[in-house]
Homo-oligomer: A and B are copies of this chain.
Amino acid sequence: MVKRTSHQNADCLIARPLDAIGDWWSLLIVRDAFDGMRRFGEFQKSLGVAKNILSARLRNLVAHGILETVPAPDGRAHHEYVLTERGRGLFYVLVALRQWGEAYFSGPGEPYTFMVDTRTGRPIRRLEVHAEDGRLLAPGETRLADFRQQPQ
């Protein structure tokens, strides 16, 4: 064996992101960061993950520019972790994953939960994929693989 294969240098722009977040914990850390968590202990308590694993994941997320460390506001020795712009870009991935979970992984008899607009408390709409001209596109009507061609 060598190391676990990395997609970092893959041509595919679906593969490369997976190098940053394609493990069992990273997206959950990012989700918690969206929910306002910033500190090591908060993540650890929320996720129940071993501290060494959390430490490695946070380091990896920082290395990939998804989180950044900022000095703790209360002048503590240790810093806090906050989302970068790149990290905030993961919002749509989380929404898509969440809606997929709602649609297909919601157990029967389970309290129905959903994402809400924080301003109104009302559920949000489902994601849609639209063509340039506004047409609604169904799964399969879009080519996911790279397609090299100048727009215009």
Contacts and interface: CB of A to CB of B under 8 A. Distances in A.
Contacts of A48: 5
Given A106-B13, A117-B131, A122-B131, A98 B27 contact: no
B17 A148 contact: no
A97 B18 CA distance: 8
Contacts of A35: 143-145
A70 interface: no
Contacts of A106: 13
A145 B151 CA distance: 37
A62 interface: no
A131 B143 contact: no
Contacts of A100: 17, 89-90, 92-93
Interface in A63-103: 65, 86, 88-103
Given A94-B144, A101-B16, A145-B35, A137 B151 contact: no
Given A93-B96, A122-B132, A13 B101 contact: yes
8 contacts: A13-B105, A17-B101, A96-B97, A112-B150, A114-B147, A114-B151, A115-B147, A117-B131
Given A13-B101, A18-B27, A98-B144, 10 more contacts: A12-B31, A13-B113, A14-B31, A14-B97, A17-B101, A17-B104, A96-B96, A118-B141, A122-B133, A125-B134
